[in-house]
Structure 1
Amino acid sequence: MRVPVVQHSTRRWRARRRRALWTGGELLVTVGVVLMLLVVHQLWWTNREARHNAQRKVQALEREWGTPGAADPTAGAVPDPETGDSGSGGDDTGTGSGTGATKNSSSPARRQGTVNSAQSRPRWSQAYAILTIPRLSLRVPVAEGVSKQNVLNKGYVGHYKGTQQPGQAGNFALAGHRNTHGEPFRYINRLKRGDTVEVETKAAVYTYVVDKTLPQTSARDSGVIRSVPRSTVRPSYGYSAPGYYITLTTCTPEYTSKYRLAVWGKLRSMRLR
């Protein structure tokens, strides 16, 4: 019977192969653990931190503004963007044939102009308003700008530079994360026509009503945040006349940033704080 002879070089080669396989396995396990920790950080920790941060900022703004006063009994109508007529029929007084009537200083149009003229331009990344969406049980700060690091990643909603401020004629356009970092706009696709969206500032509370939704468009579709919002990619979505609009934008589908989802609303009423 012949006994196989195993050379020392063969033993060394097998030992090196075993070490290489063991080392490779350890590296794969380590990489897997690191990736799992990164996923946990992105999907859980960033949400926890951002939501806590946003909640503290909302509370700070509420303390700064104090308890809001009762709603103004003459508030409720929104002036026509071209004529300035509140449409309420009983708030205007004056003389003349009608076209030259003088507006009463308590009319919604006059009061809204006073509030808007008193608003100072927010500093970059400054939180200056609170957005409330009852259907989503959402209440988050609104900050100037859409910087990821200084605004969106804090769990805030960002105001697009160059668009109008709350209550002003034109388009008050906002952006928020769909996933991670508080994900305030994760479920805005669930908003339906007639849902309310409130924007609170130090001076007033503005109530918008959801009107239209653009389910998906290009990330470069700047038309959705124009003064008269209308998609340049899908022109059948949007508006053709001036008005008092709000736009909520976020990424779609979830966990991607390839496309944008937009929800539009119209200003229904305002009340002074």
Structure 2
Amino acid sequence: MPRHAQRRGRSAPRRSAAAVAVGALGELMLTAGALVLLFVVYILWGTGLQTAQAQDDLENELDQQWSQLAPEQPAPDPSELADGDAYGILRIPRFGDDWQFTVVQGVQVDDLKRGPGHYPNTANPGELGNVGIAAHRSGHLEPFADFPQLRVGDTIEIEMADGVYVYELDDAPDGDSDGNRINISDVWVVDPVPGEPRDTEPTERRITLTTCWPRFGSSHRMYATGVLVSGPTG
């Protein structure tokens, strides 16, 4: 009988448990990396689209409110606004000549998704006391992204129905990324007289801006504050 050489099929080499684990870990890391990238895209781009639409709506709301005022009609009382209502227009020249946001009444999570928010229990522009304004540093068009760049002497403008109020900062981060950092619980910065008991009678017309620290986190807050230098009642 002719002799036949039998060819046996070779079985695939077995992967060690360690190799399987490393492969699985690599796949998990790739997946996690993709998820992180998608999250960053959403924070920087997706939330920005939502806020841009909200800003358009707030601007239209404010235009409608102000256009209905008769020439001799007194300006509406901002204190009567409900949370979520359009409040005024904020301009900060330090952030650029075209930097402008419509401010919403309220500083809850949903309020700040729409733009800078006015602390409801703080003064209104021009009043004795302390106007409190908060905004995001990342996501939602990141209004206060450059907050650490604020300098003493910078001006903050708030346009209301009765005119434009201009404040000048006398305490600011001055380019220090950690400057004016406070604990989240330090709500005294928006008190009528910052650093004094809440029932202290104010003698100045001030403004205080607050935002998150670090930029992509919220373990602390940053603040800048100043005094009214011009306006319908300044």
* TM-score (structure 1 length as normaliser): 0.65
1:52 deviates by 4.5
1:231 deviates by 8.3
Percent of pairs with identical residues: 32
1:58 deviates by 2.5
In the aligned structure 2, how far is the partner of 1:133 from the partner of 1:222? 23
In the aligned structure 2, how far is the partner of 1:168 from the partner of 1:200? 14
Aligned to 1:65: 66
Aligned to 1:127: 86
Please tell me whether the aligned partners of residues 55 and 140 of structure 1 are also in contact (alpha carbons under 8 angstroms): no
Between 198-207 and 172-181, report the one with greater CA deviation. Answer: 198-207
In the aligned structure 2, how far is the partner of 1:22 from the partner of 1:259? 39
Aligned to 2:220: 259
1:53–1:241 distance in 2 versus 1, CA, 3 Å: closer
1:34–1:21 distance in 2 versus 1, CA, 3 Å: same
Letter of the 2:105 counterpart? E
1:12–1:45 distance in 2 versus 1, CA, 3 Å: same
In the aligned structure 1, how far is the partner of 2:216 from the partner of 2:203? 34
Aligned to 2:35: 34
Show the 5 A alignment for 1:1-273.
14=14, 25-66=26-67, 118-137=77-96, 138-148=99-109, 150-154=110-114, 156-213=115-172, 215-230=180-195, 242-271=203-232
1:183 deviates by 1.2
Letter of the 2:184 counterpart? A
1:136 deviates by 1.1
Please tell me whether the aligned partners of residues 157 and 184 of structure 1 are also in contact (alpha carbons under 8 angstroms): yes
1:49 deviates by 3.2
In the aligned structure 2, how far is the partner of 1:191 from the partner of 1:146? 21
Letter of the 2:185 counterpart? R
Structural RMSD (CA): 3.3
In the aligned structure 2, how far is the partner of 1:131 from the partner of 1:20? 54
In the aligned structure 2, how far is the partner of 1:220 from the partner of 1:69? 43
Please tell me whether the aligned partners of residues 43 and 138 of structure 2 are also in contact (alpha carbons under 8 angstroms): no
In the aligned structure 2, how far is the partner of 1:143 from the partner of 1:157? 6
Please tell me whether the aligned partners of residues 130 and 191 of structure 2 are also in contact (alpha carbons under 8 angstroms): yes
Please tell me whether the aligned partners of residues 48 and 140 of structure 2 are also in contact (alpha carbons under 8 angstroms): yes
Aligned to 1:101: none
1:38 deviates by 1.2
In the aligned structure 2, how far is the partner of 1:189 from the partner of 1:25? 38
Letter of the 1:128 counterpart? Y
Report the secondary structure of 1:14's partner residue: coil
1:157–1:245 distance in 2 versus 1, CA, 3 Å: same
Report the secondary structure of 1:38's partner residue: helix
1:219 deviates by 1.5
Report the secondary structure of 1:262's partner residue: strand
1:48 deviates by 3.9
Report the secondary structure of 1:62's partner residue: helix
What is the number of residues matched between the two proteins? 210
Please tell me whether the aligned partners of residues 221 and 231 of structure 1 are also in contact (alpha carbons under 8 angstroms): no
1:265–1:67 distance in 2 versus 1, CA, 3 Å: farther
Please tell me whether the aligned partners of residues 79 and 124 of structure 2 are also in contact (alpha carbons under 8 angstroms): no
1:263 deviates by 0.8
1:247–1:34 distance in 2 versus 1, CA, 3 Å: same
* TM-score (structure 2 length as normaliser): 0.74
